[in-house]
């Protein structure tokens, strides 16, 4: 198995100063501030195969951005080992960053007062990209991300969606082997988001690019990645595919029944009615607990069924339930 | 992989050419921009030196320094500042801003040693040469007024002292700016203060200053090395060999100290990372 990214028992602890808002604590705040030990990563071990897209998720403060910074060579672990493409990101920084791409959703690598094309040319020189490779990759990103409409616009005049497309394109110009995306679709509209996701999938399929992506949008991650790693309080709480995650949390489904208008909604044991009107009734049930045929039998026994629809509940809702469950767990 | 096998030093001319091209495109995007950029720079440069020159003109010199000698000192002070503006702009000369705003991360993501980025990233020869030109003009006028004998040796000495003074200014900025590694928000603007301090003190002849104060101005706040001591050597007010090597030696010590402190801060940064990021674009 060809491993591109490996974290082995990685610990990262921050010290966070706590200040009381009471004027009476002024001296204590100055001289002996309280320090909170925040364990961002607690012995995390993880491997990502070459060519894999891995979604890295978790509630706020779970340690996602810390991991991306460790992988991007911007942070050193307190203990444990980080290896990407066989290199130590911090120790081999110069050689290493020439082989990876990083995009932070809330930052930009573009030159603010220059056209996008100038930033690309800057990248070519600083990264010392051979002309042939540069032209090839530029052609690819221009086409897939539709950059032509704003190549000559100043970076500071771009819309958020355009800027993100340009940033993503720039991260790929040197043809990196691994791409780290930290919330790349933050604040984007649905179309811009879809374009970005489509592009990442395309580059992964065509070039075998390894991608580690963080986001809070679970539906988006499910569209993009085959595997999801979920962090909770600095530990990996789940590592598997999305189908397994659904099974892990609850295989919640939505059942829509259409019955003659004006009739009462059937009462289904094992399903909860979540809404409906004019003969359309919506129920939610856990497919692990109750079988659909059982629910339909119950409904048919109570009224005439005109139509039936079922679909999986959006994963966002499932994950929110999971986060809620985690929050209730004692520390 | 886009690695560069050449020695990092060999990258510099290529990077300077790149940044010069970008700077030219930036300044040439409109007549209004170009004109206002140069005019403002020139005005600020001359304004910052005017007070000392007016003093010298009113009292026909300052201490043992004639009016023309004071003009040379002011010209040299401007020229050294001009070199910094020209070669180390875009907050390279204000590391506390880059650290405090989280923009050091951008520098660390470039596949080259950090010192190569520091030496190239702020190269703005077209938009930021106003102070340099003003300094060169004042030096030229005062050299003529003082009837200084210009030779290749004198020009080499001038270059050595300008370079040394520039290294001292940069080291001073990095020594204090490194505080931002430990207090990113509190110390983000510390280089604004250190720059103001050194800019106000350097265009002044320090001959009449007492021993303790002049020691202070040649160590903790090394303003004396930036124009006064080099000017004494260049206009012939000092001919001791000690005065000749004092500024280059001070530059060496300051640089070593600044490198050590900056590296210490960088190690701390590796442990804590950047806790804030201000959206000022890539490096403004």
Q: What is the pTM of this model?
A: 0.85
In order, the DSSP letters of B141-200 are HHHHHHT----HHHHHHHHHHHHHHHHHHHHHHHHHHTHHHH-TTTTTTHHHHHHHHHHH
Tell me the C-alpha distance between A280 and A290, whole Å. Answer: 21
Q: Give the tokens for residue B160.
A: 């050595």
Beta bridge partners of A180: A102, A212
Residue B26, φ and ψ in degrees, nearest 5: -65, -50
Over residues B164-185, mean pLDDT: 94
**pLDDT at residue B280 above 60?**
no
Q: What is the pLDDT of residue B281?
A: 55
Tell me the C-alpha distance between B25 and B34, whole Å. Answer: 10
pLDDT band at B48 (very low <50, low <70, confident <90, very high): confident
Contact B130, B41 (CB under 8 A): yes
* Tens-digit pLDDT profile for residues A230-271: 998 888 989 999 888 887 777 788 899 999 988 889 999 999
Non-local (6+) Cβ contacts of B11 within 8 A are A128, B4, B112, B116, B120
Quick one: three-class SS letters along B14-58? HHHHHHHHHHHHHHCCCHHHHHHHHHHHHHHHHHHHHHHHHHHHH
Greatest alpha-carbon pair distance for chain A in Å reads 76
**pLDDT at residue B52 above 80?**
no
Closest of A188, A191, A198 to residue A160, by C-alpha: A188
Residue of A nearest to B269 (CA): A75
Over residues B256-272, mean pLDDT: 95
Task: Please tell me which residue, B162 or B183, carries the higher pLDDT value.
Answer: B162
C-beta atoms of B281 and A107 within 8 A:
no
Tell me the C-alpha distance between B157 and A3, whole Å. Answer: 57
**pLDDT at residue A209 above 60?**
yes
CA distance A30 to chain B (A): 14
pLDDT band at B251 (very low <50, low <70, confident <90, very high): very high
pLDDT band at B2 (very low <50, low <70, confident <90, very high): very low
Pick the residue of A10, A128, A134, A171 with the most B CBs within 10 A to test the interface with B by mutation: A128
Beta bridge partners of A213: A55, A181
**pLDDT at residue B282 above 60?**
no
pLDDT band at A32 (very low <50, low <70, confident <90, very high): confident
Mean pLDDT, chain A, integer:
90
Task: List residues of A whose CB lies inside 8 A of any B CB.
Answer: 14, 66, 69, 72-76, 78, 90, 93-99, 102, 106-114, 118, 121-122, 125-130, 133, 155-156, 174-175, 177
**pLDDT at residue B283 above 70?**
no
In order, the DSSP letters of A30-51 are HHS-EEEEEEEEEEEEEEEETT
**pLDDT at residue B3 above 50?**
no
Closest of A96, A55, A47, A51 to residue A210, by C-alpha: A51
Over residues B240-250, mean pLDDT: 92
Q: What is the pLDDT of residue A276?
A: 85
Mean pLDDT, chain B, integer:
89
B4 at interface of A, judged by CB pairs closer than 8 A: yes
Query: Among partner residues A99, A122, A155, which is closest to B1 by beta-carbon distance?
Result: A99
Contact B71, B56 (CB under 8 A): yes
User: Strands across the sheet with A227-232, in order?
Assistant: A100-104, A178-182, A210-214, A53-57, A227-232, A235-240
pLDDT band at A331 (very low <50, low <70, confident <90, very high): low
Tokens 């007549």 sit at which residue?
B31
Tell me the angle at which helices A116-126 and A160-172 cross, rounded to the nearest 10 degrees: 20
* Tens-digit pLDDT profile for residues A259-316: 998 888 999 999 999 888 888 999 989 888 899 999 999 999 999 999 999 988 777 7
Q: What is the pLDDT of residue A194?
A: 85
Query: Among partner residues B22, B106, B284, which is closest to A118 by beta-carbon distance?
Result: B22
Query: Among partner residues A90, A112, A122, which is closest to B18 by beta-carbon distance?
Result: A122
Q: Give the tokens for residue B82.
A: 């001009």
Tokens 């919506």 sit at which residue?
A282
Contact A257, A280 (CB under 8 A): yes
**pLDDT at residue A186 above 90?**
no
Q: What is the pLDDT of residue A318?
A: 74
Q: Could you count the other beta carbons within 10 Å of the beta carbon of residue B11?
A: 19
C-beta atoms of A126 and B15 within 8 A:
yes
pLDDT band at B5 (very low <50, low <70, confident <90, very high): low
Share of chain A above pLDDT 70, in %: 99
B168: left (phi over 0), alpha (psi -120 to 50) or beta: alpha
Q: Give the tokens for residue B170.
A: 């940069």
C-beta atoms of B106 and A109 within 8 A:
yes
Over residues A119-124, mean pLDDT: 96
* Tens-digit pLDDT profile for residues A129-178: 999 999 999 998 988 888 999 999 999 899 988 999 999 999 999 999 99
pLDDT band at B226 (very low <50, low <70, confident <90, very high): very high
Non-local (6+) Cβ contacts of B281 within 8 A are A108, A110, A111, A112, A113, A155, A156
**pLDDT at residue B132 above 70?**
yes
Residue B69, φ and ψ in degrees, nearest 5: -65, -40
**pLDDT at residue B12 above 60?**
yes
Q: Give the tokens for residue A171.
A: 């991260």
Query: Among partner residues B3, B113, B282, which is closest to A109 by beta-carbon distance?
Result: B282
* Tens-digit pLDDT profile for residues A191-204: 888 888 888 999 99
Q: What is the pLDDT of residue B50?
A: 77
**Which residues on chain A are in Cβ contact (under 8 Å) with B23?**
none
Closest of B134, B108, B131, B132 to residue B121, by C-alpha: B108
B184: left (phi over 0), alpha (psi -120 to 50) or beta: alpha
* Tens-digit pLDDT profile for residues B72-112: 999 999 999 999 999 998 899 999 999 998 889 999 999 99
Query: Among partner residues A106, A114, A126, which is closest to B277 by beta-carbon distance?
Result: A106
* Tens-digit pLDDT profile for residues A59-81: 888 889 899 999 999 999 999 99
B277: left (phi over 0), alpha (psi -120 to 50) or beta: beta
Over residues B245-253, mean pLDDT: 96
Non-local (6+) Cβ contacts of B183 within 8 A are none
Q: What is the pLDDT of residue A299?
A: 93
Using a 10 angstrom Cβ sphere, with 0-12 exposed, 13-18 middle and 19 or more buried, the burial of residue A216 is middle
**pLDDT at residue A82 above 70?**
yes
Triad B11, B273, A67: Cα angle to 5° = 100
Tell me which DSSP letter residue A110 carries: S
Tell me which DSSP letter residue A4 carries: E
Q: How far does chain A reach from its first CA to its final CA, in angstroms? A: 36
CA distance A118 to chain B (A): 7
Least confident of A150-164, B212-226, B265-279: B265-279
Query: Among partner residues B2, B15, B277, which is closest to A174 by beta-carbon distance?
Result: B2
C-beta atoms of A112 and B112 within 8 A:
no
**pLDDT at residue B14 above 90?**
yes
**pLDDT at residue B1 above 60?**
no
Most confidently modeled range among A15-29, A110-124, B23-37: A110-124
Residue B92, φ and ψ in degrees, nearest 5: -65, -35
Q: DSSP H helical segments within A146-282, as ranges? A: 160-172, 190-207, 218-224, 242-249
**pLDDT at residue B224 above 90?**
yes
B111 at interface of A, judged by CB pairs closer than 8 A: yes
């Amino acid at each position: 198995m060809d491993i591109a990214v490996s974290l082995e028992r990685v610990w990262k602890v921050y010290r966070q100063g706590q200040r009381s808002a009471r004027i009476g604590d002024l001296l204590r705040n100055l001289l002996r501030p309280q320090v909170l030990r925040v364990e961002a990563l607690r012995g995390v071990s993880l491997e990502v195969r070459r060519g894999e897209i891995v979604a890295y998720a978790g509630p706020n403060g779970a340690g996602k951005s810390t991991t991306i910074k460790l992988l991007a060579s911007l942070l050193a672990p307190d203990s444990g080992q980080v290896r990407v493409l066989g290199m130590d990101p911090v120790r081999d920084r110069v050689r290493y960053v020439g082989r990876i791409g990083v995009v932070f959703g809330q930052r930009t690598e573009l030159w603010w007062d220059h056209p996008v094309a100038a930033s690309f040319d800057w990248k070519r020189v600083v990264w010392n990209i051979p002309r042939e490779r540069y032209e090839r990759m530029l052609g690819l990103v221009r086409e897939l991300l539709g950059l032509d409409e704003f190549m000559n616009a100043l970076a500071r005049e771009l819309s958020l969606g355009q800027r993100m497309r340009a940033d993503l394109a720039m991260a790929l110009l040197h043809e990196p082997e691994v791409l780290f995306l930290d919330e790349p679709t933050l604040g984007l509209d649905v179309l811009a988001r879809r374009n970005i996701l489509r592009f990442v999938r395309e580059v992964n399929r065509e070039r075998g690019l390894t991608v580690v992506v963080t986001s809070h949008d679970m539906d988006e991650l499910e569209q993009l990645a085959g595997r999801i790693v979920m962090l909770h309080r600095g530990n990996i709480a789940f590592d598997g595919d999305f189908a397994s995650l659904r099974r892990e949390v609850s295989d919640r489904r939505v059942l829509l029944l259409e019955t003659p208008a004006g009739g009462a909604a059937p009462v289904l044991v094992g399903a909860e009615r979540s809404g409906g009107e004019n003969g359309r009734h919506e129920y939610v049930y856990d497919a692990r607990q109750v079988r659909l045929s059982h629910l339909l039998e119950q409904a048919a026994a109570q009224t005439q069924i005109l139509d039936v629809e079922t679909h999986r509940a959006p994963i966002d809702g499932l994950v929110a339930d999971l986060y809620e469950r985690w929050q209730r767990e004692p520390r | 992989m886009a690695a560069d096998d050449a020695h990092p030093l060999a990258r510099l001319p290529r990077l300077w050419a790149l940044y010069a091209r970008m700077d030219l495109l930036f300044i040439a995007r409109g007549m209004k921009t170009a004109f206002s950029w140069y005019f403002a720079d020139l005005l600020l440069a001359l304004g910052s030196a005017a007070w000392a020159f007016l003093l010298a003109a009113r009292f026909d010199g300052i201490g043992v320094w004639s009016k023309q000698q004071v003009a040379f000192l002011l010209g040299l002070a401007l020229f050294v500042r001009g070199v910094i503006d020209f070669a180390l702009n875009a907050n390279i000369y204000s590391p506390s801003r880059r650290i405090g705003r989280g923009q050091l991360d951008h520098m660390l993501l470039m596949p080259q040693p950090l010192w190569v980025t520091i030496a190239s990233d702020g190269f703005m020869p077209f938009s930021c040469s106003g102070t340099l030109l003003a300094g060169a003009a004042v030096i030229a006028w005062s050299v003529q007024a003082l009837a200084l004998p210009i030779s290749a040796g004198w020009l080499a000495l001038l270059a050595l002292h300008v370079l040394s003074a520039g290294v001292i200014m940069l080291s001073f900025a990095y020594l204090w700016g490194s505080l931002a590694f430990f207090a990113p928000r509190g110390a983000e603007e510390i280089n604004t203060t250190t720059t103001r301090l050194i800019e106000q003190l350097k265009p002044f002849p320090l001959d009449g200053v007492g021993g303790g104060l002049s020691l202070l101005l040649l160590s903790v706040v090394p303003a004396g090395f930036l124009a006064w001591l080099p000017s004494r050597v260049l206009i012939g007010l000092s001919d001791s060999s000690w005065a000749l090597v004092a500024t280059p030696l001070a530059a060496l010590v300051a640089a070593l100290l600044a490198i050590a402190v900056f590296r210490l801060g960088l190690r701390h940064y590796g442990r804590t990372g950047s806790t804030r990021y201000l959206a000022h674009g890539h490096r403004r």
